[in-house]
Amino acid sequence: MDIFAALRESHERQRQYADALIETQGASEERQRLYRQLRAELAAHETAEERYFYVPLMQHDAGMDLSRHAIAEHHQMDEMVEALDDTDMSSSHWLIRARELRDKVHHHLKEEEQRFFQMAGKILTDQQKQQLAGRYLSDFDQELERHQ
């Protein structure tokens, strides 16, 4: 498995959790469970991804701007999660914020897969792609456990 396949696995879970979350009602157990899953998945993914995808890319001039953009979007999603944490889950405002987060997650993942992965594929060697995948997956698992 290379770094792109490893990242795509988490991307797919993020999409599924975000899409399912906005279909929930009130402060139901299902909404609470899905939100915890999405929040943990986002936090673990962004931490491991920044360490084992974006930091290595930033060592190359060609990877600097896109990496900074992606990290800035991670920060925006963190702020959206914090806003959700501070909003009553049973309120309509919570659902509006959850939809905004879902839209941001979809935008970010699409941009990564369609733009960043192509650029990174040209920068990273095949050996780096394999090594980074292993490091990413190990770190992701530790971070996910920490955030659950």
54-77 pLDDT tens trace = 999 999 999 999 999 999 999 999
The SS3 call for residue 1 is coil
CB contact set of 73 (below 8 Å; sequence gap of 6+): 104, 107, 108, 111
Query: Which pLDDT does position 25 carry in this prediction?
Result: 94
pLDDT (tens digit per residue) in 20-39:
999 999 999 999 999 999 99
Residue 45 binned pLDDT confidence (cut-offs 50, 70, 90): very high
* Average pLDDT for 94-123: 97
In terms of residue numbers, what domain contains 35? 3-147
* Sequence-separated contacts (24+) of 61-65 with Cβ below 8 Å: 62/119, 62/122, 62/123, 63/119, 63/120, 63/123
pLDDT (tens digit per residue) in 114-147:
999 999 999 999 999 999 999 999 999 999 999 9
Query: Which pLDDT does position 110 carry in this prediction?
Result: 97
C-alpha torsion sign, points 121, 125, 126, 129? negative
Query: Which pLDDT does position 4 carry in this prediction?
Result: 98
Count of the separate structural domains present in the chain = 1
The predicted model scores a pTM of: 0.95
Query: Which of 85, 78, 77 is CA-nearest to residue 106?
Result: 77
Query: Which pLDDT does position 27 carry in this prediction?
Result: 94
Residue 88 binned pLDDT confidence (cut-offs 50, 70, 90): very high
Alpha carbon distance 48, 141 (integer Å): 9
Query: Which pLDDT does position 77 carry in this prediction?
Result: 98
